[in-house]
Chains A and B, each alone.
Chain A
Amino acid sequence: MSSLTNEQLERYSRHIILQQVGGKGQEKLLGSKVLVIGTGGLGAPATMYLAAAGVGTLGLVDYDVVDLSNLQRQIIHQTPDVGRPKVDSGRETIAAMNPDVEVHTYNERVTAANIRDIIRDQDYDFIIDGTDNFPAKFLINDACVLEQKPFVHAGIIRFEGQLMTYVPGAGPCYRCVFQTMPPKDAVPTCRQAGILGVMGGIIGTLQATEALKYLLGIGELLTGYLLTYDALTMKFRKVKIPRNPHCAICGEQPTITELIDYEQPACDLRKH
């Protein structure tokens, strides 16, 4: 028998009507656990759509507090939240939106020392990289490869965005494509370069879409592909990317067997 209540049948009716979802698919979502690392431009919309979709357990990781300059794009936070930890305001937005969702917050920066424990804390099924800096992106990739967890990478800047999905054993990881971090200052941060507010909405929502498809086991994921988007020209490009057999983390003879913290400074690195 279906475990869905009448209220859930109504709340998720537009999902359940879909042939690829149905009541069973909705039950799967309610039983799923997604970890969102970074509740900023990408993580805010991704989290909100996953919460609305009824993903039953969401983990939010962020060490930062809400800044007035975040509100132009980080729609999970509201004006009265300025100065409050992002994970707290994220939790409240989700609670108001959908009481079916259990939220776990981690008010800390992901590091080599804690990231595997955070992933294991609720044995998350899928991870969303909503971070804004290369050290975190490489750390998330390496942690997910070592933990054998699928995740979706994304990056946004100015009018451009990109994303790709890693599924253990099914395709390349982020490091297969981008072997090492770019040198310091080679790539501007969003604070230096600016970003159109909607970019996080577009790319973060695509990340949420990948998560939902993975959890439901439907459609084709961006495994083995990098999807890029240019808002000015309205061009999406889906670039095929091969697995690198010599990849330092997921290759045949990996040289990275444990995590280390990389040193490039973060976009939002701030003296507290």
Chain B
Amino acid sequence: MSETKADAAIDITDVVCPITFVKVKVALEDLADGQTLAVHLNDGEPIENVPRSLKDEGHKVLSVDRQADGSYTLVVEKGGRA
């Protein structure tokens, strides 16, 4: 249950790309470097794009877990570059 360990959580299953990443990015801006964010996201475009965009901005994706309903939960650690 990685999301219980995260410092904050966000659900982006109700939006499509690129708003998915936009919401995660804005949520990360409220955290300090090294803090973690749990992200609930859909299969398909979101799971293909969001982790890659996070890495591009210098964040560290700690885990990606597939849920029973086919959605995903990923935990990202805020990187110093963003």
Q: Which residues of A contact B (CB under 8 A)?
A: 1-2, 4, 9-10, 13-14, 16-17, 19, 22-24
Contact = CB atoms under 8 A, between A and B. Distances in A.
B23 interface: yes
A13 B19 contact: yes
B82 A9 contact: no
B32 interface: no
A138 B27 CA distance: 46
Interface string B9-29: 000000000110111011101
A13 B18 contact: yes
Question: What 9 A-B pairs have minimum CB-CB distances, sorted nearest first?
Answer: A23-B26, A2-B26, A13-B22, A16-B22, A23-B29, A9-B22, A13-B18, A24-B29, A10-B19
Nearest to B18: A13
Contacts, number: 35
Contacts of A22: 25-26, 29, 82
Contacts of A1: 30
B43 interface: no
28 contacts: A2-B26, A2-B27, A2-B29, A9-B19, A9-B22, A9-B23, A9-B26, A10-B19, A10-B22, A13-B18, A13-B19, A13-B22, A16-B22, A16-B25, A16-B26, A17-B18, A17-B21, A17-B22, A17-B53, A19-B82, A22-B25, A22-B26, A22-B82, A23-B22, A23-B25, A23-B26, A23-B29, A24-B29
Contacts of B53: 17
B7 interface: no
Given A9-B19, A16-B25, A23-B26, 11 more contacts: A2-B27, A4-B26, A9-B23, A9-B26, A13-B18, A17-B21, A19-B57, A22-B25, A22-B82, A23-B22, A23-B29
Interface string B61-81: 000000000000000000000
A200 B23 CA distance: 36
A14 B26 CA distance: 13
Contacts of B26: 2, 4, 9, 16, 22-23
B19 to A, nearest CB: 6
A113 B25 CA distance: 47
Contacts of A13: 18-19, 22
Nearest to A25: B29
Nearest to A26: B26
Contacts of A17: 18, 21-22, 25, 53
A102 to B, nearest CB: 23
Interface in B17-61: 18-19, 21-23, 25-27, 29-30, 53, 57
Contacts of A23: 22, 25-26, 29
Contacts of B18: 13-14, 17
Contacts of B57: 19
Contacts of B23: 9
A9 to B, nearest CB: 5
Contact of A2 (B19, B21, B30, B82): B30
B55 to A, nearest CB: 13
A4 B29 CA distance: 12
A23 to B, nearest CB: 4
